[in-house]
Amino acid sequence: MEPFVQNSGSPALFSLKPWTDRFANITAGFTGRTGGAGRAPYESLNCALHVGDFQEDVVKNRKMIAESLGFSLEDWTCGEQVHGAEIAVVTAGDKGRGSLDRTSAFADTDGLLTDVPGVLLTSFYADCVPLFFHDPVSGAVGLAHAGWKGTVAEIALAMVRRMEAVYGSRKEDIRGAIGPSIGGCCYEVDDFVMDHVRKIEGSLAQAEESADRLYRPSTAHHGKMLLNLKELNRRIMIKAGILPTHIECTSWCTSCNHDLFFSYRKENGVTGRMASWIGIKES
Ligand SMILES: [Zn+2]
């Protein structure tokens, strides 16, 4: 069953239901593109400040989303994403970094972890893969932004290792989830990307783990491949030690569903960004 389920009402929010149903103290999910304040071509729930949108519209959207989740704009915490594999451990004093401007955000950071209640971790997407992490034993939560570069840099593996080091997490306790992003149906890549994929492919769990193939030749463009980044990240999570039964994976493709989601590829690069979020509620 699809784990990311759209809430009724506005703004458009897709809750990570298997987690929010099971772990009442956390909120986790992914925003859609509708129900916000943004104007074309960012209509309307753009969450990112780096894409040329009006700052006041983005802040208005963030405030609306945070409040819909029972948090406030002051709790919204994010990094400046660079398609790397750097991870920041967010403390109580970091709460709110990046919420109103880019300069206070964590520099060069694609992964965020915290065990502090009341912090709302967020990161931004238009086709790249949002990864979610939760250890219900230590209570830690995390997000990682994985485009093809972050994926082959194995940011999913780095997140698990960091949770083990910082929170004493056991990998068999950790839950992983893969959110709405461009699917293997639409994500055409060239040899340059495929060379990186093939370099890590041998170290990953083999096909018996899943019927989903990692890639197949494009029928539309000779020499190109259709890459399944979600499945690639799922196998990296398994390599990191997360149990396959502890991994949720979406079937939403952002490019196929650009009425619901922003898509960088579908909209030729000029568009808004969705946000992934995860946070521990204050009791
Ligand atoms: Zn698609």
Q: What is the pLDDT of residue 169?
A: 98
Domain hosting 43: range is 4-181+242-280
Q: How far is the CA of 185 from the centre of ligand 1 (A)?
A: 4
Distance between Cα 46 and ligand 1 center (Å): 21
Query: Residue 258 Cα, ligand 1 centroid: separation in angstroms?
Result: 10
State the distance from the centre of ligand 1 to the C-alpha of 184, rounded, in angstroms.
7
Tens of pLDDT, residue by residue over 160-219, are 999 999 999 999 999 999 999 999 999 999 999 999 999 999 999 765 555 678 999 999
Tell me whether residue 210 is in a domain.
no
CATH number at residue 40: 3.60.140.10
Task: Give, to the nearest 10 degrees, the angle between helix 155-167 and helix 229-239.
Answer: 30
Q: Give per-residue pLDDT as tens, 129-164.
A: 999 999 999 999 999 999 999 999 999 999 999 999
**Is 230 part of any domain?**
no
Distance CA 168, CA 140 (A): 10
**Contact indicator for 64, 70 with CB cutoff of 8 Å:** no
On whether residue 212 sits in a domain, the answer given is no
Could you tell me if residue 91 is inside a domain? yes
Closest CA to 283 of 33, 24, 22: 24
Domain count, the chain: 1
Q: Exposure of 73 by Cβ count < 10 A (0-12 exposed, 13-18 middle, 19+ buried)?
A: middle
Residue 52 lies in a domain: yes
CA of 12 to the centre of ligand 1 (A): 20
What's the gap in Å between 181 CA and the centre of ligand 1? 9
User: Does some domain include residue 233?
Assistant: no
* Residue 206 belongs to a domain: no
The angle at the Cα of 216, spanning 210 to 221, to the nearest 5 degrees, equals 155
Question: How many angstroms separate the alpha carbon of residue 218 from the centre of ligand 1?
Answer: 13
